[in-house]
């Protein structure tokens, strides 16, 4: 709802003027009340404003009649109230619902922002204020006595706002061509207004129209002499002198590129970058292509006070063009004037897309920083400039919530009404939270569904092959983004990057050296060029999009594939016995970090190597509850295996890991185990088979491995069969001596079933299971303890345990 007086009088909800309804006097009354909307206007003042010095007889009755007519044409929610002090027009919020009042408030705020040294904010506020004008103020009520004075006041405020706006735009980087065009009407209205003419001259000079700017000066000088007998003011003469010296163009500069979309996420990075720019003279945003470095730099730059310039090196094709790009952005002719243009001026240069000319850019930036104490530089690059004193801010993936919000907002722009989907989180995670990739995916909702996008990530480069036609070529498609980074690598770096694609979920430096045959120097080079990132835990990782592209570059038969399989099989075999000792938690954490690599190794190696890997990992998958996650790759391995008695035990563990409980594979595995004559190689085999398929007679003669853990496990089995507290006690002592938590907890749970006071035993077992994160055992134990509490009459404790059991089961995807 807005009443308009800056032009023809318009009521809310109407496309044009208020019209003849009520007549000229009613419109004049409305206009007068709107000028003081929300405040009481005395009757005498209304009479003077509407009728002048000679009001007609019975003017009080006439005014009341006009008020009555006015009330009939007002929109809902707006009223004219009579008070002892006069009449008051009641609207929702006068400061926003009446264009005159809104204009005055914006103009005041804009002037304050300019005085506080924030020209960008000042320009925005004043631009909004001036945008409210649609013609002469009070255009169709000018016959009213009050209107002439009010219109003159508003016209003067408008001219002041125009001058403040033009000055702010010139300081903050407004487009000089737009400034020249917008100032034309004001100059026609007030050709001798010297500040206005000075701003016009500056804008003409900044737009490259030097001759016209000088001619404008001569015109106003002659007019002042002829009409007023005066010379130009010192301020206007100073602008003339700047033009003669070629300095006006250097003082008014091209604006920062305006964003076409809203800014999503990066709140913490924005604050950090603003803080760095305020504290350091050189800051570099580093990160992979598509991470949003340019947008973040511009977002921060636009919010900073003072002079900010933008240097785009994206179109520079040779290092020799870097200096020219700087000169063009600073509005000077030739490289020789760069230092002179920046000397003594507090300027922030945003230098974008430095990676392909990083050497020449670093040399020039260092030279300018040394020569110009007031200069600060913010660069964006996929590689640091490498200058002493440079502060770096790495920019990686968006936070999951921000990536999802970005997708939903951009998707709603191409599919109106889109508010989200259950698989948006999965899709954004698969795209690494890379802003460009997320935006490209959202744009595809014109023709594809979220399900099709999520399911098609394996072919992401074909899927996201359509982007903004006007964007630089290297940002139009996802493939182009990665290809640009790839093209900047040295041959040896490309070879290493391709080999790194065999890793999933990252890798340690030791693993990279072993699998890829690369030293830390080559790896560090890829980190510096934003092809690889270093996590807080010291692991090296490629974004999945970069990894997918690198995998396409890996030659068939590259030795890194076999080396990867061998490395992780050796790691699993080394970890296996450690999972039954005091370092159990440390090795579980290590295997957690390598989970994706271990699953990838199942596909890389030969079927026989895969069987051995499954055997080594079976305890880990059991303890971490990962059997559902690995069932698919293990089932694929089973399809490639030619079963043999030699690896019969490993084959049986593979059948169990695939989640099979009956069928040909289970029958074959049962025969292998039933005919086995040597001890089991994997101590968990008998336990896992009996708990998954069931204890069968052919397995009763199985010989367990000859080690303390297996002996203790056998004691637990016999204790369960005989309900023997001494056997449970011996098993508990054996597991405690090993420092192994799962076996200890299992023995404690068995003892609790025979104890008169089971709660302390169950509590200790629960603590151990929680340390291990064994969701199934935690749920079972909580339900069992709830039964004990219930039997003792402690209903509250029983309910608490059941609630915890349900929550844990849901979180782990177990039946509730």
Domain spans in the chain, listed from the N-terminal domain onward: 1-171, 173-255, 267-394, 400-473, 489-555, 562-699, 708-812
Report which of 298, 310, 598, 358 is spatially closest to residue 485, judged by C-alpha positions: 358
* CB-based contact 352:294 (threshold 8 Å): yes
pLDDT tens digits for range 603-645: 887 888 899 999 999 999 888 877 777 888 888 888 888 888 7
- Average pLDDT value for residue range 562-587: 92
Question: Is the per-residue pLDDT at 546 higher than 50?
Answer: yes
Alpha-carbon distance values, 527 to 354, 363, 546 (Å): 16, 22, 13
| Strands 540-541, 533-534: pairing kind | antiparallel
* CA dist., res. 676 & res. 611, Å (int): 17
Backbone angles phi, psi at 470, to 5 degrees: -90, -5
Query: Given this model, what pLDDT does residue 319 score?
Result: 62
In contact, 770 and 744? CB cutoff 8 Å: no
Q: How far is CA 601 from the centre of its chain?
A: 33
Tokens standing for residue 489: 């690598």
SS3 570: helix
pLDDT at 479: 79
3-state secondary structure 175-242: CHHHHHHHHHHHHHHCCCCHHHHHHHHHHHHHCCCHHHHHHHHHHHHHHHHHHCCCCCCHHHHHHHHH
User: Is residue 468 pLDDT above 60, yes or no?
Assistant: no
- Whether the per-residue pLDDT at 765 is higher than 70: the answer is yes
Residue 88: strand, helix, or coil: strand
The CA distances from residue 77 to 91, 97, 99, in Å, are: 7, 12, 17
Strands (E), 473-541: 533-534, 540-541
pLDDT band for position 577 (50/70/90)?
Answer: very high
- State the Cα–Cα distance between residues 779 and 808, nearest whole angstrom: 7
Sign of CA dihedral 430, 434, 435, 441: negative
Rg of the chain (C-alpha set): 39
Q: What is the mean pLDDT of residues 693-702?
A: 56
Return the number of other C-beta atoms located less than 10 Å from residue 232's C-beta.
Answer: 18
- What percent of the chain lies above the pLDDT cut of 70? 91
Query: Under CATH, which architecture does the 1-171 domain have?
Result: Orthogonal Bundle (1.10)
Contact 494, 532 (CB under 8 A): no
Please give the Cα distance from 123 to 106 (Å, whole number).
11
Query: Residues of 681-697 as b/e, b for ≥16 C-beta within 10 angstroms?
Result: ebbbbbbbbeebbeeee
pLDDT band with cut points at 50, 70 and 90 for residue 473: low
Looking at residues 145-171, what average pLDDT do you find? Answer: 87
Q: Does the pLDDT of residue 87 top 50, yes or no?
A: yes
CA–CA dist 334, 326 (Å, integer): 10
Whether residue 570 has pLDDT greater than 90? yes
With bands split at pLDDT 50, 70 and 90, how would you rate the model's confidence at 250?
A: very low
- In Å, the largest CA–CA distance within the chain is 126
Q: How confident is the model at residue 312 (pLDDT cuts 50, 70, 90)?
A: confident
554/702 Cα distance (integer angstroms):
46
- Position 16 confidence tier, pLDDT thresholds 50, 70, 90: very low
Architecture of domain 267-394: 3-Layer(aba) Sandwich (3.40)
Instruction: Tell me which of 309-318, 403-412, 660-669 is least confident.
Output: 309-318
Query: Would you state the pLDDT for residue 251?
Result: 47
- Token output for 486: 């790839």
Residue 595, Cβ neighbours under 10 Å: how many? 18
The mean pLDDT of the chain is 83
Is pLDDT above 60 for 15? no
In 3-state terms, what secondary structure has residue 119?
helix
Poorest-pLDDT segment among 341-345, 509-513, 547-551, 807-811: 341-345
Residue 380 · residue 398 · CB < 8 Å: no
Q: Rounded to the nearest 5°, which phi and psi values hold at 459?
A: -115, 50
**Which whole number is the average pLDDT over 212-232?**
85
How does residue 774 score in pLDDT terms, banded at 50, 70 and 90? confident
Contact indicator for 202, 251 with CB cutoff of 8 Å: yes
The predicted structure's pLDDT at residue 699: 44
Q: Which two tokens stand for residue 156?
A: 């003067």
As assigned by CATH, the class of the 708-812 domain is mainly alpha
466 forms bridges with which residues in the sheet? Answer: none
Amino acid 1: pLDDT? 62
Chain centre to alpha carbon of residue 46 = 56
- Separation between Cα atoms, residue 387 and residue 318, nearest integer Å: 21
Q: How would you classify the pairing of strands 375-381 and 282-286? A: parallel
pLDDT one-digit tens code per residue, 56-76? 778 878 888 888 888 888 888
Q: What is the pLDDT of residue 377?
A: 93
Contact 357, 329 (CB under 8 A): no
Q: Using DSSP, how many helices (H) and how many strands (E) does the chain show?
A: 41, 10
Please give the torsion angle defined by the CA atoms of residues 231, 237, 243 and 249, in that order, rounded to the nearest 10 degrees. Answer: -130
Instruction: Count Cβ atoms below 10 Å from residue 739 Cβ, excluding itself.
Output: 13
Domain spanning 173-255 has what CATH number?
A: 1.25.40.10
Q: How many CA atoms lie within 13 A of 57 on its CB side?
A: 0
pLDDT at 334 (0 to 100):
59
Mean pLDDT over 727-752 rounds to 92
d(CA 365, CA 322): 10
CATH architecture designation of domain 489-555: Orthogonal Bundle (1.10)
Q: Which of 256-270, 685-699, 718-732 has the lowest mean pLDDT?
A: 685-699
More confident residue, 309 or 107: 107
The pair of three-digit structure tokens given for residue 703, joined into one six-digit string: 């010989």
Which 3 state secondary structure label does DSSP give 312? strand
- Of 51, 64, 52, 9, give the one whose Cα is nearest residue 31: 9
| Mean pLDDT along residues 363-370 | 90
* Average pLDDT, integer, range 577-596: 91
645, two tokens? 């008695």
pLDDT in the model for residue 18: 46
CA distance 543 to 536: 15
CB contact at 8 A, 319 and 342: no
pLDDT at 219 over 80: yes
Q: Which residue has 């340019």 as its token pair?
A: 294
pLDDT at residue 571 greater than cutoff 90: yes
Residue 698 has pLDDT above 80, yes or no: no
Decide: residue 149, CB within 10 A, 0-12 exposed, 13-18 middle, 19+ buried: exposed
Asked if the domains at 1-171 and 173-255 fall in one CATH topology, the answer is no
């Amino acid at each position: 709802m807005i009443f308009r007086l800056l032009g023809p009088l318009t009521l809310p909800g109407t496309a044009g003027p208020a019209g003849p309804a009520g007549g000229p006097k009613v419109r004049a009354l409305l206009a007068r009340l709107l000028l003081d909307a929300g405040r009481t206007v005395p009757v005498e003042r209304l009479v003077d404003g509407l009728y002048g010095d000679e009001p007609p007889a019975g003017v009080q009755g006439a005014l009341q009649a006009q008020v009555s007519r006015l009330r009939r044409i007002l929109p809902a929610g707006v009223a004219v109230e009579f008070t002892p002090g006069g009449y008051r027009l009641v609207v929702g919020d006068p400061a926003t619902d009446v264009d005159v009042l809104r204009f005055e408030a914006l103009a005041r705020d804009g002037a304050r922002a300019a005085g506080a040294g924030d020209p960008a904010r000042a320009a925005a506020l004043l631009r909004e204020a001036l945008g409210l004008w649609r013609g002469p103020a009070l255009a169709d009520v000018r016959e009213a006595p009050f209107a002439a004075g009010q219109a003159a006041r508003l016209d003067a405020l408008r001219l002041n706002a125009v001058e403040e706006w033009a000055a702010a735009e010139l300081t903050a980087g407004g487009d000089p061509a737009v400034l020249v065009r917008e100032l034309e009407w004001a100059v026609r209205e007030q050709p001798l207004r010297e500040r206005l003419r000075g701003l016009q001259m500056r804008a003409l000079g900044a737009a490259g129209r030097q001759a016209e700017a000088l001619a404008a000066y001569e015109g106003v000088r002659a007019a002042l002499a002829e009409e007023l007998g005066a010379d130009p003011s010192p301020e206007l003469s100073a602008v003339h002198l700047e033009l003669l010296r070629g300095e006006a163009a250097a003082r008014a500069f091209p604006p920062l590129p305006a964003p076409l979309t809203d800014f999503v996420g990066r709140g913490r990075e924005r604050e950090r970058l603003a803080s760095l720019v305020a504290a350091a003279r050189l800051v570099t945003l580093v990160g992979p292509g598509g991470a949003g470095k340019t947008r973040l730099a511009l977002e921060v730059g636009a919010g900073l006070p003072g002079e900010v310039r933008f240097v785009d090196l994206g179109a520079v094709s040779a290092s020799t063009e870097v200096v020219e790009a700087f000169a063009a952005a600073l509005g000077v002719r030739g490289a020789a004037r760069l230092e002179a243009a920046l000397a003594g001026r507090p300027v922030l240069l945003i230098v974008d897309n430095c990676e392909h000319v990083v050497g020449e850019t670093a040399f020039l930036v260092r030279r300018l920083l040394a020569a110009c104490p007031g200069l600060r530089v913010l660069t964006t690059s996929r590689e640091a400039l490498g200058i002493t004193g440079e502060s770096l801010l790495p920019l990686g993936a968006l936070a999951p919530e921000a990536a999802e919000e970005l997708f939903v907002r951009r998707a709603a722009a191409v599919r109106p009404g889109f508010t989200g989907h259950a698989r948006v989180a999965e899709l954004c995670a698969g795209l690494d939270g890379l802003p460009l990739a997320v935006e490209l995916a959202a744009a595809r909702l014109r023709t594809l569904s979220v399900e099709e996008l999520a399911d098609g990530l394996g072919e992401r480069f074909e899927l996201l092959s359509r982007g903004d036609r006007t964007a630089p070529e290297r940002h139009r498609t996802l493939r182009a983004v990665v290809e640009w980074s790839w093209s900047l690598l040295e041959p040896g770096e490309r070879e290493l990057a391709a080999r790194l694609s065999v890793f999933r979920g990252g890798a340690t430096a030791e693993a990279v050296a072993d699998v890829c045959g690369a030293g830390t120097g080559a790896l560090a080079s890829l980190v510096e060029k934003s092809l690889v990132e270093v996590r807080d835990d010291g692991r090296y990782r490629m974004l999945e999009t970069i990894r997918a592209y690198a995998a396409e570059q890996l030659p068939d038969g590259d030795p890194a594939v076999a080396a990867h399989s061998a490395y992780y099989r050796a790691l699993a075999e080394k970890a296996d016995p450690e999972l039954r000792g005091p370092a159990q938690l440390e090795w579980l954490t290590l295997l957690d970090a390598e989970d994706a690599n271990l699953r990838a190794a199942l596909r890389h190696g030969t079927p026989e190597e895969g069987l051995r890997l499954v055997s080594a990992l079976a305890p880990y998958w059991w303890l971490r509850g990962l059997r559902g996650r690995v069932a698919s790759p293990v089932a694929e391995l089973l399809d490639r295996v030619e079963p043999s008695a030699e690896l019969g035990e490993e084959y049986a563990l593979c059948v169990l890991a695939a989640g099979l409980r009956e069928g040909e594979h289970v029958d074959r595995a049962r025969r292998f185990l039933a005919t086995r004559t040597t001890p089991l190689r994997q101590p968990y085999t008998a336990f896992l088979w009996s708990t998954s398929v069931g204890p069968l007679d052919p397995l009763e003669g199985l010989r367990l491995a000859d080690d303390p853990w297996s002996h203790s496990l056998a004691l637990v089995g016999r204790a369960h069969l005989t309900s023997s507290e001494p056997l449970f006690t011996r098993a508990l002592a054996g597991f405690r001596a090993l420092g192994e938590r799962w076996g200890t907890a299992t023995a404690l749970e068995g003892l609790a079933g025979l104890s008169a006071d089971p709660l302390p035993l169950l509590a200790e077992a629960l603590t151990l299971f929680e340390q291990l994160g064994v969701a199934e055992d935690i749920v079972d134990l909580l339900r069992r303890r709830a039964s004990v509490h219930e039997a003792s009459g402690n209903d509250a404790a029983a309910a608490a345990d059941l609630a915890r059991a349900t929550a844990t089961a849901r979180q782990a995807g177990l039946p509730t």
